[in-house]
Structure 1
């Protein structure tokens, strides 16, 4: 089994391989439900949980994390779910209080 350090090195190798920074066009159809779930998963994955990100995300440059956030927001906007997501977030914040 890989140690955390080995996993980071493998991940870093994959992310720096040729062509990984090239833009790709992705034309797809996705339900609004899945857009909302995808946004939630991205936000949850890049948000610190109990003060620590996953080892792999810790090794990512901040620019990559920002790009994921922008992608997530753009998906919400295109699906017309920005306001709904904001209200759901507020409900979740109220529940935690």
Structure 2
């Protein structure tokens, strides 16, 4: 548990560092397999319907969590995997 507290403190410190709110442009080229996996990992960390179920992600402001969800959704849409992702959620009962 002490490790989680140290990690939380470090992460909170990094989030407050100068320049962390600056927008950066990232040109990413990923294959569809990685996009689908990335989206699944993000959703697993964020939990169902906004419930946050991971220690580290609890430190992230709600606005940033929302942006992360938007990013994951945008990746799926651009990769043409939105419908496939929805069907997979239905199969897994999420």
Aligned to 2:16: 16
Aligned to 1:79: 79
Distance 1:52 1:20, change over 3 A: closer
Larger Rg: 1
Question: Where do 5+ consecutive residues of structure 1 fail to align?
Answer: none
Structure 1 distance, partners of 2:73, 2:34, is: 14
Aligned to 1:44: 44
RCO (CA 8 Å, sep 6+): is it higher in 1 or 2?
1
The size of the alignment, in residue pairs, is 92
Structure 2 distance, partners of 1:3, 1:26, is: 31
The alignment yields a C-alpha RMSD, in angstroms, of 2.1
TM-fit CA distance, 1:44: 0.3
TM-fit CA distance, 1:57: 1.5
Structure 2 distance, partners of 1:54, 1:9, is: 15
